[in-house]
Amino acid sequence: MKPKSPPPLTICYILRQRIMAHESVGFFLTHCGDSSVIEALSFGLALIMLPYATDQGLIARVFEEKKVGIGVPRDEEDGSFTRNSVAESLWLVNDDKEGPALEIRISAIDA
């Protein structure tokens, strides 16, 4: 009996720029890599920042100070985060009645 061959591999690409340019998109959840942050800011999107390694934490701090996004709160001891902390960050960026009401656009960056 001949073994079955695996199913064909399907690779789908998403045109991220097309999605980011859509008027219904107001924020971008990012790991704070250089390219992702620059791309999101070029479309005037608020950043929800969830850095993982190396320079990403520094990038997150700089842009949080510039008020173009917020960081996802993490546990002080081990750096972990919860789905609730991610959800709360999403609500803060999206809510215009409570929290910082981040109506963030690229014009907010002066320097």
Predicted confidence (pLDDT) per residue in 71-111, tens digit: 999 988 998 999 999 999 888 887 655 444 455 544 445 44
Fold that domain 25-108 belongs to in CATH: Rossmann fold (3.40.50)
pLDDT (tens digit, 9 = 90+) per residue, 31-86? 999 999 999 998 988 899 999 888 999 999 999 888 888 999 998 899 899 999 99
Q: What pTM did the predictor assign?
A: 0.72
Other CB atoms within 10 A of residue 104 CB: 23
Pairing of β 46-49 and β 27-30: parallel
